[in-house]
């Protein structure tokens, strides 16, 4: 017999139905239902927010090949702790996810070890080298839902144009890490006053802006959609906003760290603030927030990028870029966006769940009857110290910091996968 239960007394937030109010949520088996029988289990969630499980379009699980940093089991455990029920794994594994055999291997590991739903992205080009398209049709047949050379921006406009055209044929979402490589060869942090003060190589925002503009032009030319990853620059936000106003099919994401931190955090040379793209100025941060508020930025994605203590505990210019973020994303974004009055809880859940699910075309981001029962219970007023991580790596600036707004329990297909 299928398990039935009803969650009562929660504040239910569902952007797919523009719902924000106290009501019952019914689950039968693995799906949401219109109702349940009289003897169904009752979960009292008074004082909690119930929302669709979060969807992260940008996660590095490092598996296969880099499991000293993260693996599917630990990465998805961290995702569940952060309220994420669906994540997209980036293809910069070892070997890269650029062929059906590697995708089959990863799919088998996901089926065996994942605690949440993991969707696989594939490379745009073979080996992420930017020289020859990967076999996109074959990747799609293996279940890949998106393509990106994340971490290695495709420099050739011709190859990127072809990728968009083929992706449109195969119903693949094209996602791009926007970085003009010749401008960032010595880049360590944002090019500006802080980089001069610290004597570190500058990474100009123009390196992002140039590729953002190029990709938007190509999307218009090919009549395709482009999704722009981890936007950090105020100029890029303005370009995206203008493109949307002119009808270009473009979406973009911002990370919790770019929404909340600036390059001033690097004054002590703490490598846990070193990321790609780099933290930028307060003006850039405010522009990102403005973009989130007015819809230029449609998605919050973590770019969860684990590295070992040994990786990060070295000279600044030798340390890798990236921080973890799955477990702290909700708390950080709630503080920056909701607590400050920039958006409401409905808007935050839309950014973290409903809109990314729509862009990925997956069954998530909604509490509608018939949908998979992926949801999260949140105590939005709970204060806690982030003192323990379920990720294999600890490279986060929020470790040991007090945060507000805590994920209490996460459900995937009606089953609890994490509980505080």
Catalytic residue among 14, 303, 374, 379: 303
Active site residue 303: yes
Bridge partners (DSSP) of residue 251 are 227
Question: CA nearest 193: which of 276, 280, 270?
Answer: 280
Residue 5 CB coordination number (10 Å): 18
Please count the other Cβ atoms lying within 10 Å of the Cβ belonging to residue 131.
Answer: 12
- CA–CA distance from 209 to each of 12, 29, 228, 301 (Å)? 39, 47, 11, 19
| CA 198 vs CA 182, 189, 319: distances in Å | 22, 10, 16
Return left, alpha or beta for 83; rule: phi > 0 is left, psi -120 to 50 is alpha, else beta. left
Pairing between strand 375-385 and 49-52?
A: antiparallel
Contact 72, 399 (CB under 8 A): no
Question: How is residue 353 written in tokens?
Answer: 């769940």
- Using CB atoms within 10 A of its CB, is residue 1 exposed (0-12), middle (13-18) or buried (19+)? exposed
Pairing mode of beta strands 250-254, 4-8: unpaired
How far apart are alpha carbons 353 and 347 in whole angstroms?
10
User: Given phi > 0 = left and psi -120 to 50 = alpha, else beta, which region is 355?
Assistant: alpha
Q: Are 80 and 116 contacting, i.e. CB atoms less than 8 angstroms apart?
A: yes
CA dist., res. 78 & res. 324, Å (int): 9
Structure tokens at 143: 């279940």
Q: Are strands 299-300 and 250-254 parallel, antiparallel or unpaired?
A: parallel
- Residues taking part in catalysis: 303
């Amino acid at each position: 017999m299928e398990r039935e239960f009803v969650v009562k007394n929660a504040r239910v937030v569902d952007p797919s139905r523009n719902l924000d109010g106290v009501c019952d949520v019914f689950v039968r088996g693995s799906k949401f239902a219109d109702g349940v029988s009289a003897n169904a289990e009752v979960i009292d969630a008074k004082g909690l927010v119930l929302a669709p499980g979060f969807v992260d379009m940008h996660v590095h699980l490092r598996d296969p090949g880099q499991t000293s940093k993260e693996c599917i089991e630990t990465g998805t455990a961290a995702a569940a702790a952060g309220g994420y029920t669906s994540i997209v794994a980036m293809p910069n594994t070892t070997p890269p996810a650029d062929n059906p055999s590697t995708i089959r291997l990863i799919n088998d590991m996901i089926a065996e070890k994942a605690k949440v739903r993991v969707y696989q992205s594939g490379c745009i080009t073979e080996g992420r080298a930017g020289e020859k398209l990967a076999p996109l049709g074959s990747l799609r047949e293996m279940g890949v839902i998106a393509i990106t050379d994340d971490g290695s921006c495709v420099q050739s406009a011709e190859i990127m144009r072809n990728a968009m055209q083929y992706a449109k044929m195969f119903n693949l979402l094209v996602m791009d890490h926007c970085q003009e490589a010749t401008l960032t060869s010595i880049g360590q942090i944002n090019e500006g006053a802080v980089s001069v003060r610290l004597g570190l190589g500058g990474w100009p925002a123009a390196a992002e802006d140039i590729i953002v503009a190029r990709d938007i032009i190509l999307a218009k030319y090919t009549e395709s959609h482009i999704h722009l990853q981890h936007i950090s620059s105020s100029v890029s936000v303005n370009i995206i906003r203008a493109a949307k106003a002119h009808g270009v099919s473009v979406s973009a994401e911002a990370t919790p760290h770019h929404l909340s931190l600036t390059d001033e955090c690097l004054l002590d040379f703490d490598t846990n603030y070193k990321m790609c793209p780099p933290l930028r100025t307060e003006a850039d941060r405010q522009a990102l927030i403005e973009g989130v508020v007015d819809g230029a930025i449609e998605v919050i994605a973590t770019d969860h990028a684990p590295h070992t203590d040994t990786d990060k505990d070295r000279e600044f210019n030798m340390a890798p870029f990236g921080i973890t973020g799955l477990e702290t994303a909700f708390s950080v974004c709630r503080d920056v966006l909701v607590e400050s009055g920039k958006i409401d809880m409905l808007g935050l859940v839309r950014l973290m769940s409903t809109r990314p699910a729509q862009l990925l075309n997956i069954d998530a981001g909604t509490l509608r009857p018939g949908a998979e029962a992926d949801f999260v219970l949140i105590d939005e007023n709970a204060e806690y110290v982030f003192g323990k991580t379920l990720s294999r790596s600890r490279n986060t600036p929020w470790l040991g910091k007090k945060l507000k707004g805590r994920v209490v329990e996460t459900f995937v297909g009606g089953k609890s996968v994490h509980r505080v």
